[in-house]
Chains A and B, each alone.
Chain A
Amino acid sequence: DTAVSQTPKYLVTQMGNDKSIKCEQNLGHDTMYWYKQDSKKFLKIMFSYNNKELIINETVPNRFSPKSPDKAHLNLHINSLELGDSAVYFCASSQESVASGSTTDTQYFGPGTRLTVL
């Protein structure tokens, strides 16, 4: 039944390690996203991706890279983890490949992955 799922839910790791967070959606949506929510609860878009276009927020370090094996999956790889990467990471998806300014642009979020870098 789960629409957007992420694994793992919690991830604790050491500085300098490389880790991945997986995301899958079973809604048949065309576009997927990764967000970072920091301790101040501010949602920051990192990437949006459909089968045609990857849009990268230019403020995201290149240590972060999205990888999409197919339309239903968008995984997030993080290299050389830093203390400041500690946050909750949310995956989301929306219906349209081209935003239309309608409710089809509504984003549905996964449960989040709480990443703690020690």
Chain B
Amino acid sequence: GQNIDQPTEMTATEGAIVQINCTYQTSGFNGLFWYQQHAGEAPTFLSYNVLDGLEEKGRFSSFLSRSKGYSYLLLKELQMKDSASYLCAVQDSNYQLIWGAGTKLIIKP
């Protein structure tokens, strides 16, 4: 079967750095997305990786290793507004998005 694993919840301190991991087992791979979802709101696109390596976009970076079926989202200089759920999603061989259950990130002052 197809499976996306992420930690359920993480806690970090304002100003610090946090890494949210995602491992996947899917039938084929055509890219990995990270989305942010604040409570009661819609998911919004953060990043896309299809090749191995690190993609940096401001305070957020996303890394992919296809051979390991692994990705992480790195958030630097954490702000209180970064408190949200972070969803990992993988496109399989049919270009269907397989979603993880999300990681709830709690930022403390």
Contacts and interface: CB of A to CB of B under 8 A. Distances in A.
Given A101-B91, A102-B31, A111 B96 contact: no
Interface of A: 4, 40-45, 48, 55, 90, 99-103, 105-112
B85 interface: yes
Nearest to B87: A43
Interface residues of B, number: 23
Contact of A109 (B43, B96, B102): B43
Interchain residue pairs A-B with the least CB separation, the first 4? A99-B95, A101-B30, A109-B42, A43-B99
Contacts, number: 55
A8 to B, nearest CB: 15
A105 B95 contact: yes
Interface of B: 30-31, 33, 37, 40-45, 48, 50, 85, 87, 89, 91, 95-97, 99, 101-102, 104
A107 B45 contact: yes
A99 B91 contact: yes
A105 B31 contact: yes
A41 B102 contact: yes
A112 B41 contact: yes
A63 to B, nearest CB: 22
Contacts of A101: 30-31, 50, 91, 95
